[in-house]
């Protein structure tokens, strides 16, 4: 399983929290590439919903990861 910013971007608007099956269904309905669906199928399924993208991809960059100061603009 591998994630890139492009692949993860297909899940940004997913209905969080969501179970593995709900995320796969969302990815299919939203037209996400097959790589996204394959990555989701490899997730562990303990029946508990995932709260956000960071639970799927812990290295997902957040707004704080970019050194852009919005106050300057």
How many domains in the chain? 1
**What are the pLDDT digits (tens) for 28-42?**
999 999 999 999 999
Q: What is the residue-averaged pLDDT of the chain?
A: 87
In a domain, 62, yes or no: no
In a domain, 43, yes or no: yes
In a domain, 29, yes or no: yes
Q: What is the band of 60 on the pLDDT scale with cuts at 50, 70, 90?
A: confident
In a domain, 63, yes or no: no
In a domain, 71, yes or no: no
Range of the domain at 52: 5-57
In a domain, 17, yes or no: yes
In a domain, 70, yes or no: no
Percent of the chain whose pLDDT exceeds 90: 63
Q: Which of 52, 70, 67, 66 is nearest to 11 (CA)?
A: 52
Query: How many angstroms separate the CA atoms of 21 and 73, rounded?
Result: 41
pLDDT of residue 68: 56
pLDDT of residue 47: 85
């Amino acid at each position: 399983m591998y994630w890139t910013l492009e692949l993860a971007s297909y899940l940004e608007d997913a209905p969080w929290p969501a179970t593995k099956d709900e995320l796969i269904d969302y990815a299919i309905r939203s037209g996400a590439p097959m790589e996204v669906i394959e990555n989701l199928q490899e997730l562990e399924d303990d029946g508990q919903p995932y709260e956000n993208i960071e639970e799927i991809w812990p290295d997902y960059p957040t707004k704080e990861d970019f050194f852009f100061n919005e106050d300057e603009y």
